[in-house]
Amino acid sequence: MRLFETLENHLDAVKKDGTPMSAVAETIKAIATACIDIASLVAQGPLGQIGEQTCGRNADGDEQQALDVASDLILQAALRDTPVACLISEEIEAPLQINADAPLVVAVDPLDGSSNIETNASVGTIFSILPAVPGGECRGALQAGVNQLAAGYCIYGPQTVLVLTLGSGTQMFTLDWEARRFVLTHSDVRINPRTSEFAINASNYRYWEQSIRAYVDDCLEGETGPRGENYNMRWIASLVAECHRILVRGGVFLYPGDNRRGYTHGRLRLMYECAPIAFLIEQAGGRATTGHQRILDIEAQAPHARTPMIFGSAHEVECVENYFLENHMRGAGSQLFSQRGLFRH
């Protein structure tokens, strides 16, 4: 693997004709081309014909930006002639059959963070590639993330960067706009296992369960508190932007379930948000969990199924999991724990 090699050369080096990786490579090339078109569309902003228009709600009830729909259509067109049997998209209610006998399933969030368009914050496209069930059309498309053959996202920010894993590390490819191709700029990304930075929407504090409250409270006490150091807090409300920051400089992201109506299982969708991000994070040495269970072990029960998600620096995520464990044992009446607990460092 060489820095500044093109995405095409990188994919050609790992594929073998007639194998699943050959189909995966072909599909990623198509997705990458679509991402360049989406990046161009997003960059036009109010100068484009679409701009910040809305056009109803998607299958999961979120307000749908016109850019969401346009991005979805770009991806559908790009995948039409690829070895993809079925497409699961945030913007369509049911799985879409593309090529019935093809070997792959693709799950996508065509434009994650699109509510941030008007603020010019980073948004992106998230994708997951899974094996299809032979002869099953879209049956069997709902799978656990551990089955993923590849996953990635393209972030549209100051640079357009495609972040990719094929199951052997996480790589970053930056778009060369003049050549309209992605070039490897960060090889085998590794997340620092320790961090003093967390990302959560603190306005929902009153709805959180005790384990999340306790973790955040202890972080906010700083160096005089049980964590013994000062923490920074971040929140962008764009999953790709949060993930990219963590891949580059470490940190932990939390979107827990809470007691608001409809938020028992959080807000993030398993198949096209949590599973691909978890794959990228684990391949970079990080950790991704619900607080109780590894994200990649969860089998989707519906195309738009949700799950709580905590991911990032491995030691810090494990620390958060210990808060859940401690809270569970307190609920069971254990006498092992003082007010501050045993597992919080």
User: One of 62, 137, 176, 217 is an active-site residue; which one?
Assistant: 62
Is 239 a known active-site residue?
no
**Active-site position among 72, 112, 218, 326:** 112
Is 112 known to be catalytic? Answer: yes
* 111 counts as catalytic: yes
Catalytic-labelled residue, pool 11, 41, 68, 162: 68
User: Out of 41, 75, 90, 316, which one is annotated catalytic?
Assistant: 90
The string of DSSP letters for 27-80 reads HHHHHHHHHHHHHHHHHHGGGSSSTT-EEEE-TTSPEEEHHHHHHHHHHHHHHT
Is there a contact between 15 and 22 (Cβ–Cβ < 8 Å)?
A: yes
**Catalytic: 223?**
no
Exactly one of 91, 197, 242, 316 is catalytic; which is it?
A: 91
CA angle (237 as vertex; 50, 36 as ends), nearest 5: 45
Question: Within 13 Å, how many C-alpha atoms sit on residue 324's CB side?
Answer: 18
Pairing of strands 309-312, 252-255: antiparallel
**Catalytic residue list contains 91:** yes
Helix axes 314-331, 210-220, angle to 10 degrees: 130
- Best CA proximity match to 84, nearest among 10, 162, 31, 39: 31
Q: Which of 109, 197, 242, 282 is catalytic?
A: 109
Is residue 17 annotated as part of the catalytic site, yes or no? no
- Tell me if residue 12 is catalytic: no
Annotated catalytic residue 62? yes
Catalytic residue among 72, 242, 258, 273: 273
**Catalytically active residues, by annotation:** 62, 68, 90-91, 109, 111-112, 273
